[in-house]
Structure 1
Amino acid sequence: MRYEQIIEKAKKIKWFVFDVDGVLTDGKIIYDSEGKEIKMFYVKDGIGIHMLNMVGIKTAIITGRSSEIVEKRARELNITEVFQNSSNKLIHYNELKEKYNLKDEEILYIGDDIVDIPVLKRVGFGATVPSAPEEVKKYAIYITNKEGGNGAVREVIDLVLKIQGKYDEIIKKYCEI
């Protein structure tokens, strides 16, 4: 897709929706000696999500797994909606659209595997990471340079906020503190 098309699509975004494993994390699942799950989140992705909050762009998570850690991280970041244990992400995507009266073109989704394809096909702006299967990349208009859990989310956030002219507004707010 040409950059001009990415710009046009990015201008319409009002919601960011994230997968977790492979997007907000590096996709590795670690268990401690007591069998508790450990996930590592990238701090700069979190700051990016706070930046979205600052300018009124809402956020959601739709993930196929269920984890207390995801709930905790979502609360820390003031993520508006969290759908876990989603075997059909399109169902939760449609619930989100209906609840908030959203149009497909107002939603950006970042996913990294074949379970994300149905949502990537619907949204106005579909993004994925370099390690995603080729089948997934076919449905994304943007493939990040950075991997999931290592700045991919922040990369897309910065891109959209700059295109929408909101990035400088955020920098100004931080400079005033």
Structure 2
Amino acid sequence: MNAMYLADLPAEVLARAAAIRLAAFDVDGTLTDGRLPFSAEGQDHKVFHVHDGLGLKQLQHHGIAVAIITARSSEAVSRRMAELGIRHVYQGARDKRACLHQLLNELDLQPEQAAFVGDDLPDLAPMRIAGLGIAVANAHPWLAAQAHWQTRSRGGEGAAREVSDLLLQAQGRQDEVLQSWY
């Protein structure tokens, strides 16, 4: 996402993004492409995009908490989130809305300070209470219609990085991010 793209975003989306202190993500279909491959032994396999991982680390490095709220449980998710240093990982969360509320209370944040990123109907309830509800490009149309913003990238193909870039740019942190890599 470049600065030109950011300039094209509605002022309401930019204002919502500027207030975010917590970015919460679904996993399957959001941080992955949504497919659920299983080995002959029944173990699931997930593929995560390296750009998304860097985006999540950038958010944390620049003061935005990152959370994972997913209905499924997976060792692959545990391992990848540990690699990224993400502390707020909620797997097996059947009530994602309640989980997000609990996390907001723990972090002493208001709903308008949270973004929730998802791809399908189980993500609707937390997305609706978040100050910035985001659907990935390939989200189910019913969810996408309820989002404040929709990424150009598909789940598992850079959508989380796009969210990271939006939040950091809207908060005026782009130069700081770039400087950290010089």
Q: Distance in 1 between matches of 2:101 and 2:178?
A: 34
Q: Shift in Å at residue 5 of structure 1?
A: 0.4
Residue 128 (1) aligns with residue 135 (2)? yes
Aligned length: 174
Structure 2 SS opposite 1:38: coil
Equivalent in the alignment of 1:103: 110
Residue 36 (1) aligns with residue 43 (2)? yes
Q: Distance in 2 between matches of 1:168 and 1:32?
A: 44
**Length-normalised TM-score, structure 1:** 0.95
Q: Shift in Å at residue 88 of structure 1?
A: 1.1
Q: Distance in 2 between matches of 1:129 and 1:71?
A: 22
Q: Distance in 1 between matches of 2:174 and 2:61?
A: 10
Q: Which amino acid aligns with 2:135?
A: T
Equivalent in the alignment of 1:8: 15
Q: Which amino acid aligns with 2:76?
A: I
**Deviation sequence 1:102-131 (CA, Å, 0-9, x none):** 101100110111011111110000101122
Unaligned 5+ segments in structure 2 are: 1-8
- Pick which of 127-136 and 153-162 moved more: 127-136
Contact 1:54/1:170 (<8 A) preserved: no
Residue number among 167, 170, 173 corresponding to 2:177 in the alignment: 170
Residue 59 (1) aligns with residue 60 (2)? no
Aligned pairs (5 A) from 1:137-152: 137-152=144-159
Q: Distance in 1 between matches of 2:179 and 2:58?
A: 12
Q: Distance in 1 between matches of 2:84 and 2:63?
A: 13
Residue number among 156, 161, 168 corresponding to 2:168 in the alignment: 161
Unaligned 5+ segments in structure 1 are: none
**Length-normalised TM-score, structure 2:** 0.92
Q: Shift in Å at residue 167 of structure 1?
A: 1.8
Q: Distance in 2 between matches of 1:132 and 1:172?
A: 34
Contact 1:24/1:42 (<8 A) preserved: yes
